[in-house]
């Protein structure tokens, strides 16, 4: 029974994918979207069912679908593990996924390839579910690769535009670099433990009989994989470029689900990372630095989606900081709250872009709160959440991270706090430039301004409510999430008793955020500051505006040599190889040309040949024997 339900949970979005790919063009747009959404809602309901079960029983459900690999002493099943962690992920992936599907029905209704869009979205959900419910690293890798593929397909959805294709390629290639790390880590683990099952590796590590240095390499490689997928330094540049995809894609993949896969993987393998403290330190440092760098870039961006993209990178950095300090449950908490408010922010920005018929530059927006009240209020709630204002969800999760950081390493706390303050600043900058003052766009745009249809605003409202009250799952009093995740996490977990230190830290964070908001208010409202056009930005602002020229650096360091190498192969190596291969034919041709000369047609020569042959035969038969 449970096996069948688990199978339905897994397969349902795939069925939606098949339907939309094969029949989507023939049915109406509404039906195509409805089927796509229904399949995800089915998965959501099933995950609620399993959640109730696991919560009641306290332990997970493991189902093996079929035996996959069996080589000497290495055995691998295609199995599903529905324990607390995976069900948690399933809940918000399918939940937010179904909301975004609903949203897309309205958002993409002008596009003639809408069936393809829903097909890819369903495929993505399918792979994400595979990633999350797999019971061993290899099944997770299938999902890992699959979401990378769907990300490529969806970013480059409007394929007629070449820069979008380039962005999709960039995302995929950077993901692949990370995947190499993931694979190396998987191989090392398979070599050391002869199994890739989580439930089998865990006791082996806890017993402590294993080679720590090799596992350190494995942990590092796995982290590199997570860097690629979750856009940490130095593999983060694909995420801002990925904003070329439609906004629902950005909301689903690059805010709520795919980029959290790295965090999921590290939390899953927490027992591995717990015994390699050097790698954990590295994770923390990279997380903090990424957070700071991304936040600084976000300060000056003018495209509404790019601001949100850099914000995502920054928040992911904070999550990795928590992971690196061993506070896995804190990171998971922040993942969940971040999913809520970031998805809401992205969907809201999509609503704005939709109303302005494609305009994304904030310098041409303004005063939209009169025309789009629902969008305005939902985005406002989410912005308050992301800035860490009490009592919205972001406040609780971010403060936990800062507390953990303060306890372990003050320097990291300082970096994280600065990043949070910058976050508050640029998010409110976004709000002020978009929704306040007067509209700065064209007259025709102004006449068409209106609130978005209900299919767009309903998900916004739901997500805003979640962003507001989402902190309840892990309030300092009840700590429900911590207790829920206890069976998964092996090491000690952070229990925060609220004492004076904690209250002081909370106060400092809150104060910093409020100061940032006030500064943004004074700059953009009081002083009426509007960012300059691109050509007028100068010196340090220019460096930040151009993302510290990291992309150009990568191009110089990696892309140009690789292009030169492939050019070399194409112009010199391949013709040379061609010559070698063709030389066989040429040689045979030459030999046969020479052989042709035997056929002179002159009888005298033939007679000679007769007699010589006769001599040869006779001498062989009679003399040589």
Partner 1 sequence: MSTVLIIFYILSAITLSTAFLTIYTRRPIHSAIYLVLCFFSIAGHYLLFNAQFLALVHIIVYSGAIMILFLFTIMLMNLNNEDEVHKPRITRLGAIIVFILISIIMVSVFINSKTIMGDYDDYGNDYQSIKVLGKILLNEYMVPFEFASILLLVAMIGSVLLSKKEKSGK
Partner 2 sequence: MGNILNQIGIENYIFLSVLLFCIGVFGVLYRRNAIIVFMSIEIMLNAVNLLFVAFSTYHQDSEGQVFVFFSMAVAAAEVAVGLAILVSIYRNLGSIEIDKLKNLKG
Whether 47 and 166 have beta carbons less than 8 Å apart is answered as no
Q: Of 234, 237, 238, 207, which is closest to residue 223 (Cα–Cα)?
A: 234
Site for partner 2 (CB under 8 A): which residue of 4, 596, 622, 623?
596
Site for partner 1 in 583-622 (CB under 8 A): 604, 608, 611-612, 614-615, 618-619, 622
Site for partner 2 (CB under 8 A): which residue of 593, 599, 621, 622?
599
Q: Residue 593 interacts with partner 2 (CB under 8 A)?
A: no
| Calpha distance 47→58 (Å, rounded) | 16
Residue 601 binds which one of partner 1, partner 2, none, with CB within 5 to 8 A depending on kind?
partner 2
| Calpha distance 423→316 (Å, rounded) | 12
Q: Looking at beta carbons only, is 587 or 616 nearer to partner 1?
A: 616
DSSP string across 481-506: HHHHTTTT--S--------HHHHHHH
Whether 245 and 213 have beta carbons less than 8 Å apart is answered as no
* Smallest distance from partner 2 to CB 591, Å: 15
Q: Count the residues of the shown chain that bind partner 2, applying the rule CB under 8 A.
A: 11
* Smallest distance from partner 2 to CB 616, Å: 14
Q: Residue 598 interacts with partner 2 (CB under 8 A)?
A: yes
Whether 399 and 333 have beta carbons less than 8 Å apart is answered as no
Q: Which two tokens stand for residue 149?
A: 């593929």
| Calpha distance 20→164 (Å, rounded) | 23
Q: Which two tokens stand for residue 21?
A: 């790919």
* Smallest distance from partner 2 to CB 589, Å: 16
Residue 622 binds which one of partner 1, partner 2, none, with CB within 5 to 8 A depending on kind?
partner 1
Q: Which two tokens stand for residue 235?
A: 């593999």
Q: Residue 158 interacts with partner 2 (CB under 8 A)?
A: no
Site for partner 2 (CB under 8 A): which residue of 212, 454, 586, 600?
600
- Interface characters, 346-365, with partner 2 (x: CB under 8 A): --------------------
Q: Which two tokens stand for residue 130?
A: 């595979």
Q: Residue 591 interacts with partner 2 (CB under 8 A)?
A: no
Q: How far apart are the first and last CA of the chain?
A: 84
DSSP state, residue 240: H
Q: Looking at beta carbons only, is 71 or 623 nearer to partner 1?
A: 623
State the residue for tokens 């069925």: 15
Helices and strands: H and E segment counts in the chain: 27, 2
Q: Residue 604 interacts with partner 2 (CB under 8 A)?
A: yes
| Calpha distance 203→193 (Å, rounded) | 11
Q: Looking at beta carbons only, is 1 or 598 nearer to partner 1?
A: 598
* Smallest distance from partner 2 to CB 624, Å: 19
* Smallest distance from partner 1 to CB 619, Å: 5
Q: Looking at beta carbons only, is 548 or 610 nearer to partner 2?
A: 610
**Farthest CA pair distance, the chain:** 119
> What does the binding site for partner 2 look like in residue numbers (CB under 8 A)?
596, 598-604, 607-608, 611
> What does the binding site for partner 1 look like in residue numbers (CB under 8 A)?
604, 608, 611-612, 614-615, 618-619, 622-623
């Amino acid at each position: 029974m449970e096996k069948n339900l688990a199978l339905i949970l897994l397969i349902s979005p795939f069925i939606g994918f098949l339907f939309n790919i094969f029949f989507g063009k023939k049915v109406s747009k509404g039906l195509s979207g409805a089927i796509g959404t229904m399949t995800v809602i089915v998965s959501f309901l099933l995950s609620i069912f399993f959640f109730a079960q696991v919560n009641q029983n306290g332990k997970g459900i493991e189902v093996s679908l079929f035996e996959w690999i069996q080589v000497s002493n290495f055995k691998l099943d295609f199995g599903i593990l529905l324990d607390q962690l995976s069900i948690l992920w399933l809940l918000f992936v399918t939940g937010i996924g179904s909301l975004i599907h609903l949203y897309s029905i309205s958002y993409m209704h002008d596009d003639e390839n809408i069936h393809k869009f829903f097909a890819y979205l369903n495929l993505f959900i399918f792979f994400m579910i595979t990633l999350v419910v797999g019971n061993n690293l290899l099944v997770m890798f299938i999902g890992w690769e699959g979401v990378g593929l769907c990300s490529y397909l969806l970013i480059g959805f409007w394929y007629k535009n070449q820069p979008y294709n380039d962005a999709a390629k960039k995302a995929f290639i950077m993901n692949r670099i990370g995947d190499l790390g993931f694979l190396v880590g998987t191989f090392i683990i398979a070599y050391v433990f002869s199994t890739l099952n989580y439930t089998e590796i865990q006791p082996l590590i806890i017993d402590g009989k294993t080679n720590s240095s090799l596992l350190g390499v494995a942990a590092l490689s796995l982290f590199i994989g997570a860097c690629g997928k979750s856009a940490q330094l130095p593999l983060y540049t694909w995420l801002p470029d990925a904003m070329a995809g439609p906004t629902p894609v950005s909301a689903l993949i690059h805010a709520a689900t795919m980029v959290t896969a790295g965090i999921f993987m590290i939390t899953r393998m927490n027992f591995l990372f717990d015994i390699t403290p050097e790698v954990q330190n590295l994770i923390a440092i990279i997380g903090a630095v990424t957070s700071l760098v991304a936040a600084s870039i976000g300060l000056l961006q003018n495209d509404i989606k790019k601001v949100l993209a850099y914000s995502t990178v920054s928040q992911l950095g904070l999550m990795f900081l928590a992971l690196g300090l061993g506070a896995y449950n804190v990171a998971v908490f922040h993942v969940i709250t971040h999913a809520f408010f970031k998805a809401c922010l992205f969907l809201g920005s999509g609503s704005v872009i939709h109303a302005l018929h494609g305009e994304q530059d904030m310098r041409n927006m303004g005063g939209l709160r009169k025309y789009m009240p629902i969008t305005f209020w939902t985005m406002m709630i989410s912005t308050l959440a992301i800035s860490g204002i009490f009592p919205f969800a972001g406040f609780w999760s971010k403060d936990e991270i800062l507390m953990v950081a303060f306890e372990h390493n003050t320097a990291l706390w300082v970096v994280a706090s600065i990043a949070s303050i910058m976050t508050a600043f640029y998010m409110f900058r976004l709000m002020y430039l978009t929704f306040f003052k007067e509209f700065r766009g064209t007259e025709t745009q102004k006449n068409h301004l209106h609130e978005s249809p209900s299919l767009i605003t309903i998900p916004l409202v739901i997500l805003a409510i979640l962003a507001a009250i989402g902190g309840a799952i892990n309030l300092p009093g009840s700590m429900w999430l911590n207790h829920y995740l206890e069976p998964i996490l092996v090491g000690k977990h952070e229990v925060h008793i609220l004492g004076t230190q904690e209250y002081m830290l909370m106060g400092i964070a809150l104060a910093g955020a409020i100061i940032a908001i006030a500064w943004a208010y004074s700059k953009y409202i009081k002083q009426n500051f509007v960012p300059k056009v691109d050509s007028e930005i100068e010196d340090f602002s220019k460096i930040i505006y151009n993302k510290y020229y990291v992309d150009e650096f990568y191009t110089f360091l990696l892309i140009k040599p690789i292009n030169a190498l492939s050019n070399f192969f194409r112009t010199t190596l391949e013709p040379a190889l061609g010559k070698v291969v063709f030389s066989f034919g040429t040689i045979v041709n030459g030999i046969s040309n020479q052989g042709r000369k035997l056929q002179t047609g002159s009888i005298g020569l033939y007679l000679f040949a007769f007699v010589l042959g006769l001599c040869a035969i006779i001498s062989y038969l009679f003399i040589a024997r």
